[in-house]
Structure 1
């Protein structure tokens, strides 16, 4: 991390998929059920696209994801996919088989105990984000959950700016695994912490991050080593 950035922040802002939450534990079963349903409803006739397309698109706005995953799909198929994905993901969360990354809850609890304000900023849907937080017992730890689905922002940069403005946050670290997270941090004058453990993106995804972590628990060490002022 650059010396000028080694200031202990008042807040940390987290992406959700690939940062806090092991997305594939709910996403991949939902993905295959989604295409089975689209075909049964006559909205899509091709085989299910490779799931790697979906995993490689995480971090995008949902409307852009479907353009990548099924470019041959109609607007009606894309709209129905939005509905189905949320429904199936919420069913998966209710099933209790999903997972956070190792030591996420413990690390968040310790940061919260030390007075750090914690936020989520995700390009996902509102009920999906809140569903993960509720399912895994994280609700009491966060000062706010911000999603593109709820706030209608066109980019992660705009979403993070809104978060900062609404909460009067002056110093924060942006923590995430995609280029959109790094961009959101840098363009809002924040330290960008890149999570290199999910493996959904390409090597260039985290180019420009101030520091990379290979496990979530490393975040607490970075916080402890940062200057208080």
Structure 2
């Protein structure tokens, strides 16, 4: 990196999950097919399965908004059923050993913890999925808190991060993520934002408001 700005030392680092810590497509490709096969079998959505890339492009959104993008014109019953199926099939995939973290994530988190940093997750996903990823990937014990929109019923990630900061009395933290919602969550709470440019799920301009871009998770240690 060139001309990296000097960031204030953080008490804590707050991580998005999908596309930041977890390489989501390693789990989601099979899940995606199963969801739409089941919806058609149950007569809830009869259109062809949308490309999985469209789902991956929606990561970071709330589930309600994801289904509206993937299934325009669908009924509320179809979208609610898709919520249930996604969680069920994701957890089954995790139990079967599917899915992987990005390179070096586990080692870097352990080093950050050893340096005395508090670590948190803030995700727009469902509670059992977000915690399930952390548990099955062997990193759950490294976090001081795992926050999800599914658990706290927050309307935006700005609200979710605000709740996290308040709950833990944090005065300084960095927000680390790969989507515009992560940039908004950081900036909306007065936090520096580290943009994960190694992720491929979003648009190239989504991280334009980040303070620093990293292309390898190990760069966090040099920051």
**Bin of the TM-score, shorter chain as denominator length:** over 0.9
CA-atom RMSD, angstroms?
0.8
Residue 211 of structure 1 corresponds to which residue in structure 2? 212
Matches of 2:61 and 2:98, distance apart in 1: 25
**Unpaired stretches in structure 2, ≥5 consecutive residues:** none
Deviation of 1:2 after TM superposition, in Å, equals: 3.6
The equivalent residue for 1:43 is: 44
Deviation at 1:31, TM superposition (A): 0.6
| CA-CA distance at 1:164 after TM superposition | 0.2
Superposed, 1:133-144 pairs within 5 Å as 133-144=134-145
Partner of 1:189: 190
Shift in Å, 1:28? 1.3
Q: TM-score, normalised by structure 1?
A: 0.94
How many equivalent pairs are there? Answer: 220
Using the TM superposition, give the Cα deviation of residue 53 of structure 1 relative to its aligned residue in structure 2, in angstroms.
Answer: 1.4
Q: Quote the Cα distance in structure 2 between the aligned partners of 1:122 and 1:50.
A: 23
Query: What is the match of residue 154 of structure 2?
Result: 153
Stretches (4+) displaced over 3 A: none
Once the 2 structures are TM-superposed, how far is the Cα of residue 139 of structure 1 from its aligned partner? 1.6
The superposition leaves residues 39-86 of structure 1 with CA deviations (integer Å, 9 ceiling, x where unpaired) of 001111111012121111110000110000111211111000000000
Q: Distance in 2 between matches of 1:24 and 1:52?
A: 9
TM-score, with length taken from structure 2: 0.97
Cα distance in 1 for residues equivalent to 2:8 and 2:202:
28
Write the distance in 2 (CA, Å) between the matches of 1:32 and 1:86: 14
Aligned twin of 2:79? 78
